[in-house]
Structure 1
Amino acid sequence: MPDAIGIAGTALTVHRKWLDAVSDNLANANTATATSGEAFRARYIVAQASGDQQGVFVSGAEFGSAEGRIVHEPNHPLADAEGNVRYPDIDMAEQMGALIMAQRGYQVNAAVVDRAKETYQAALQIGRN
């Protein structure tokens, strides 16, 4: 029988890293840079099932475009001669949806760990009686 706590634990790690990436993306969604530089690049976590079917792991990260979007803000301190600044091309609605999914995934796997722990403790009690 697969180790429920171990499998859920791997999923907890993946969801935590996903939450970290989404929160970083949301925190930097309005970070302006000069048009001569690169925009903040959103980070997307890539998860993969382990080969032994005992959980999941983060196999890497993918990054959004460094081009971002150009916005005309002539009063911004980083504005170029034409009055433009560069912002990340981050879709807030998409990131909020990802945040909710990552939170729910984390909560579900934390509940699995709790239930498995209770089940193992009940089995130990049966063995004692």
Structure 2
Amino acid sequence: MADRQVIADFARSMGIATSGLRAQAGRMRVISENIANADSTASTPGGDPYRRKVPTFSSELDHTLDAQVVALGRVVRDPTAFRVRHEPSNPAADANGDVKYPNVNSLVEMTDMRDAQRSYEANLNIIHATRSMIQRTLDILKS
């Protein structure tokens, strides 16, 4: 009976860490999109450019594991104001010669990316440690 509980605990640990990997990978995709569009302009004069996206996370119950796991939640648009530059010769300029640029701050995005990478690596380390514990348990049971 204790063996089943140990196996369930290992599976739960792997499942929770895997959900963290998926959530952080989704977060990195959103951040990458923000970085890629940081200097884009609208396709029509005076139009709105790309608007920064912000990933959210949600907690879900995984009935198979009987554990709370994390998931990438809704991706919401950042309502902060666009950056505006006076560039009358730009095709995206409005009647006043102003061009709107995305509300993306590359420094913030790179900081968020590094945080997501560290979280991803932490979850990956949990998976490696759990696999190592499973292997050691199997070795003990064999002897």
TM-score by length of 1: 0.88
Q: Which amino acid aligns with 1:36?
A: G
Q: Deviations over 1:88-118 (max 9, x none)?
A: 1112222111111001001111111111111
2:11 aligned with 1:11: no
Count of paired positions: 129
Residues of 1 paired with 2:132 and 2:68: CA distance? 20
- 1:22 matched to which residue of 2? 31
Q: Name 1:40's counterpart in structure 2.
A: 50
Maintained 8 Å contact 1:39/1:66: no
Deviations 1:47-102 (A, max 9, x none): 02224543201221111238522211122232233222111111222211111100
CA contact (8 A) 2:46 2:93 kept: no
Identity rate, percent: 27
Runs of 4+ in 1 over 6 A off after TM superposition: none
SS at match of 2:38: coil
Q: Which residue of 2 aligns with 1:117?
A: 131
Aligned-partner Cα distance in 1 for 2:91–2:15: 51
Q: Please tell me whether the aligned partners of residues 28 and 113 of structure 2 are also in contact (alpha carbons under 8 angstroms).
A: yes
Q: Take 1:80 and 1:120, find their aligned partners in 2: how far apart are those partners? A: 63
Partner of 2:110: 96
Q: Out of 5-14 and 62-71, give the one that drifted further.
A: 62-71
CA contact (8 A) 1:21 1:44 kept: yes
Structure 1, unaligned runs of 5 or more? none
Provide the secondary structure at the position in 1 that maps to 2:41.
Answer: coil
Residues of 2 paired with 1:96 and 1:82: CA distance?
Answer: 33
Partner letter of residue 48 of structure 1?
S
Gap change, CA 1:81 and 1:36, over 3 Å in 2: closer
The answer to whether the Cα contact below 8 Å between 1:69 and 1:88 also exists between their aligned partners in 2 is yes
**TM-score, normalised via structure 2 length:** 0.81
From 30, 40, 59, the equivalent of 1:49 is: 59
